[in-house]
Structure formats: C-alpha cells, structure tokens
C-alpha cells in the first residue's frame, strides 16, 4: 500500500525535549534525595509522565497524593524550560520535511504521549502544519498500545496501511506495529531497530526518498 500520511512523534523526532524533561526530573529527584542520571533518563524516552515518575522513584513507595504533587512539580519545571524554546529548537531536517509533505500532498499528524504537545508546537511555531494533533490528553492508552496512532489515522482520513509512523522510541515503534502501520525509526538500532527503516535523524533525508523506500 502506498504511504499517504506521515504520523510524527514530537519529542525526540521534531525537537529534542528529552534534555528538558531530564532537567525537570533531575530537579525533582534532587529535592527528593533520589539519585537520577542522564543514563537513567534514557529509559524515560517516549514513556508517560506517570511511568516516568515510577521509574524515577526506583521502588520507593509514595501515596497517590504525593505522586500527583511530584508530577505537578516536575511539570512546572518542565513548562518553565519549554517557555524558552524557539523555532531554532526544531531538529535539523524537520521543517524541510514538513514543508515537503505539504507541497507534495502527504497528510501529516502529530502523535505524542505528551500533555504539553500543543505548548511545544506553539513554541516551535509549527502547529498549523498538521492535519491533526493527537496528544496525551486523548482518552486512550499510551504507547506501546496502538490507540493514539489509530485515532490519528481516523483524524487524517487515511487507512492504517497507508500511514507511516516516525518515532524515536522503542515503545513508539511497537505502538505503530500494533496499529498495523509501518515505521521509520530515528536513532540507534538497539532502540528503534524493529522499524522497517532506520535513520540517525531526519537531516539529509527527504520525504520523497522515504516514500520511494516504502512504496
């Protein structure tokens, strides 16, 4: 089946917010006397806010009220950092590919687990380039479940077999496959090697080249 839509993950694909998530979680961890390294942070890629907190707590028991407060606190730190983002924080090659897709009539959507997706899109000034934005506020199970991608397929009006997912997280590639979609993985093979096609990043690649590979 020919690809007619690109479903882009946001964090780690179009912009690199993982450093900002790291700084937010790190500040919380320090306040709570928990050791949290950049290496620990890698396991949080593509993972929801709640699961991120669970990983950060490393088995420490907290009440539901404490957990909610901690997630709120970290999110406050994160939002502060996102406020400093500008269009210059788009990853190399991202804007060019979004422009190209629009020019050649390929539909495109954002499919992100983040509840802050719109905030980030506004900072990057690319919100108007998408036919749909499906984010962590959707009443759906998070990746690796297929739910968010299935919602996006409906929203852009393109059948799953004609949607291509672009992801930097293992759970994202799994979610794509669970939805019956093919995937372009961005990053190391040990993370996104399950994808049908793997690139280091979008830089120096074109949408047409990707379409030629899949079609």
Write out the residues near ligand BG6 by the rule CB under 6 A.
Answer: 11-12, 21, 44-49, 52, 75, 112-116, 136
Q: Is 89 a catalytic residue?
A: no
The CA distance from 71 to 25, in Å, is: 9
* Residue 147 found at the interface with Mg ion (CB under 5 A): no
CB of 77 to ligand BG6, least distance (A): 11
- 195 to 27, 35, 191: CA distances (angstroms): 34, 33, 10
Measured CA angle at 171 (ends 160, 48), to 5 deg: 110
**Closest CB to ligand BG6 among residues 105, 190:** 190
- 10 to 17, 39, 136, 143: CA distances (angstroms): 9, 21, 11, 13
**Is residue 153 a contact partner of residue 139, using CB atoms and an 8 Å limit?**
no
Q: Is 11 a catalytic residue?
A: yes
The CA distance from 168 to 192, in Å, is: 7
Residue 142 binds which of ligand BG6, Mg ion, none (CB < 5-8 A, kind-dependent): none
Residue 136 binds which of ligand BG6, Mg ion, none (CB < 5-8 A, kind-dependent): ligand BG6
* Residue 46 found at the interface with Mg ion (CB under 5 A): yes
**Closest CB to ligand BG6 among residues 156, 172:** 172
CB of 78 to ligand BG6, least distance (A): 6
Spell out a b/e string for 108-127, using b for 16 or more CB atoms within 10 Å of the CB, else e. bbbbbbbebbbbbbebbebe
**Closest CB to ligand BG6 among residues 47, 211:** 47
Residues near Mg ion (CB under 5 A): 9, 11-12, 46, 168-169
Q: Which residues are catalytic?
A: 9, 11
């Amino acid at each position: 089946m020919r690809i007619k839509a690109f479903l882009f993950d946001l964090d780690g694909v179009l912009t690199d917010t993982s450093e900002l998530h790291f700084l937010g979680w790190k500040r919380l961890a320090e306040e709570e006397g928990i050791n949290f390294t950049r290496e620990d942070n890698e396991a949080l890629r593509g993972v929801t806010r709640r699961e991120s907190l669970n990983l950060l707590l490393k088995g420490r028991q907290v009440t539901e009220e404490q957990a909610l407060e901690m997630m709120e606190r970290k999110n406050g730190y994160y939002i502060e950092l996102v406020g400093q983002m500008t269009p210059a924080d788009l990853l190399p090659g991202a804007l060019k590919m979004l422009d190209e897709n629009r020019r050649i009539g390929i539909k495109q959507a954002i499919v992100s687990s983040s509840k802050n997706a719109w905030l980030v899109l506004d900072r990057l000034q690319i919100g108007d380039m998408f036919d749909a934005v499906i984010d962590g506020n959707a009443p759906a199970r998070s990746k690796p479940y297929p739910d968010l991608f299935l919602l996006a397929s409906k929203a852009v009006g393109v059948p799953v077999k004609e949607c291509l997912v672009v992801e930097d997280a293992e759970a994202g590639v799994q979610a794509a496959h669970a939805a019956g979609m093919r995937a372009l993985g961005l990053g190391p093979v040990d993370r996104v090697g399950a994808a049908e096609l793997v690139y280091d990043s979008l830089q120096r690649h074109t949408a047409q080249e990707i379409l030629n590979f899949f079609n």
